[in-house]
Chains A and B, each alone.
Chain A
Amino acid sequence: MVNKLIKEDTKMFLTGNEVLAYAANSAEAEFMYGYPITPQNEIMHTWCKLLPKTGAGFLQTEDEISAGFSTIGGILAGKRAFTATAGPGNVIMQDAQSMAEMMRIPFVCAVMQRGGPSTATVIYAQQETRLTCFGGNGEGFRIVYSTAGHQDLYDYMIKAFNTAWKYRFPTYVLADGYQGKMREPVLLYDPASRGIKMVPTTKALLGEGEIGKDRKSAHLRNTYNMEEELMEVLEGYKADYEKISEEIAEWEEYKADDAEILIIAHGIVARSARTAIDELREQGIKAGLFRPITIRPLAVKPLRAAVSRAKQILFTESANGQLAQMVLEKLYGLTTPYSTLFKMGVGVTGDDIVNKVKSMAVAV
């Protein structure tokens, strides 16, 4: 067991990376594996700085390939392990992430998106949206929470551990360099004080008792000989994933009930949309927001309902429509017209959205 540092409600002024390290501790994480890459380094720096007090563990591996597989190794050894990465690191960690998907490992990873493709910028983007949801040679049986600020980072990092350990799909907190590096106030708390019960860490291998008598043998495979054998397993995963999708899907609406122009945005861009919506409403334009919090799986029913109510849709992202592609697939059959405001690797400001929505309102 590790020592939990946050025992009562504590208001702090932190960077998002620091928040994530505290959140992992509050979620009773025991071990972090990682390799440095901007803009997520301070997650491991903070985690390490806290080690003397938490009694947790850390290993800096030689690269992200190793960090990903080591995380799996740690979990197989019975530890509540996690990792964090960004950009090219997220790319080369996909092999391990696919393995976690295949072996149903409760793999928790914080992704702090930076610009792409390749090294690009070290600062900010939403260009790892597709990669985090569907990277690797698999089907995207993953759960991805997209956060919009420090309170979200704390809340959803804790939740990510519970989701991963309960459902055994790789679970991600998808944020970005702005959230990682920026400072804003946040309220840290002990999950128990909010009625959150942490799903216990259980041993995947070397469990208690005798195999065949006290417990079933653990046979975790990432290799299959027969094509049909693989499909049978994956059909089971797919059924599991679809069964839980509705119960884990989360979203947030802001003034969406009577919105004529519905903005669909995730992460920190959704926060800029809120600023824009307040300004647009003051000018008499009925704008609203639908923000998927889980971008994988999406909350399809509420999404379709909100889109059906609106006259027009605006997709806005710091990417070239990575979320829009995923959403549009779920909107099949609806005919609500849509516009786009995509800024690849660049922050979307409230003013950007105000100007775009005003041009859409004039067009009607």
Chain B
Amino acid sequence: MSRTKIVLAGEGGQGVQSIAKILVEAGYEAGKQVLYIPNFGVEQRGGVSIAFCQIADEKIGEPRFAKGNIIIMLSDRAIDRCTTYVDENSTVVYDTSVCTKKPEVKCKEIIGVDANRIANEQLSARVFNIIILGVLLEATKVLELSDIKNAMEKALGKKFDAKPELRELNYKALEMGMGLINAKVEA
């Protein structure tokens, strides 16, 4: 029985919940069991935003879990809040171009990605979260790229149709995100 537990954490406004929705939608459409809980404070903007996602082959019991397989931390505060979900079997991913520190955790692997810098310099700040989605897709390996593309189409299809270049931009961001993990693994 396989179950992948994901914690995705960042600042409100970074688009954490948007990509969590695309991820679980992709899992649902791919016939997986999925469960997603958004977690946020009372603020309209700012504050730490966390998405708890599970993708499994069999029916999911506990909605909240103690330790995740993949923990993505997209700000210093996200590092502080989410260290508790890390254990020796976790893979931790953090953004080196947003965070001013490295997570101090005992885990299987820590991967630093500079998605924010790449988004700003090479693509667009608006697709920062989609780069992270690519990172997540490659780090979890439970879903196919086509599953994610279908789910993106469902969430953003109308915007894509109005501006076809947005589709290309988002696909590029996704692939660059996947590449960031591959580059790290090879190094």
A residues contacting B by CB (< 8 A) are: 13, 38, 119, 121-123, 149, 178-179, 181-185, 268, 271-272, 274-276, 278, 347-352
Contacts and interface: CB of A to CB of B under 8 A. Distances in A.
A31 to B, nearest CB: 29
Contact of A347 (B35, B63, B67): B63
A350 B66 contact: yes
A351 B35 contact: no
Contact of B65 (A123, A185, A274, A349): A349
Contacts of A268: 63
Q: Which 7 residue pairs across A and B have the least CB separation, nearest first?
A: A275-B61, A347-B64, A351-B66, A272-B62, A275-B62, A350-B62, A349-B66
Contacts of B62: 271-272, 274-276, 349-350
A276 B62 CA distance: 8
A13 B25 contact: yes
Contact of B34 (A179, A185, A275, A276): A185
Contact of A183 (B36, B61, B66, B67): B36
A146 to B, nearest CB: 14
B35 A183 contact: yes
Interface of B: 21, 24-25, 28, 33-42, 60-67
A271 B63 contact: yes
B65 A271 contact: no
Nearest to B50: A123
A351 B65 contact: yes
A13 B67 contact: no
Given A182-B63, A184-B36, 8 more contacts: A13-B34, A121-B41, A123-B39, A181-B37, A272-B63, A275-B61, A275-B62, A278-B61
B181 to A, nearest CB: 25
A38 B36 CA distance: 17
A81 B41 CA distance: 31
B48 to A, nearest CB: 12
Given A13-B28, A351-B67, A352-B66, A182 B61 contact: no
B37 to A, nearest CB: 4
15 contacts: A13-B34, A38-B42, A119-B42, A122-B41, A182-B38, A184-B33, A184-B34, A184-B60, A272-B61, A274-B62, A278-B61, A349-B65, A350-B62, A350-B65, A351-B66
B66 A178 contact: no
B24 A183 contact: yes
A182 B65 contact: no
Contacts of B42: 38, 119, 121-122
Contacts of B33: 184-185
A350 B60 CA distance: 11
B18 to A, nearest CB: 13
B66 A184 contact: no
Contacts of A348: 64
A246 to B, nearest CB: 30
Nearest to B36: A183
A119 B42 CA distance: 9
Contacts of B40: 122-123
Contacts of A183: 21, 24, 34-36
A121 B61 CA distance: 24
B35 A184 contact: yes
Nearest to A278: B61
A128 B22 CA distance: 32
Contacts of B64: 178, 272, 347-349
B35 A271 contact: no
A181 B63 CA distance: 11
A13 B42 CA distance: 26
Q: By CB atoms of chain A within 10 A, which of B35, B62, B67 has the most?
A: B62
B102 to A, nearest CB: 26
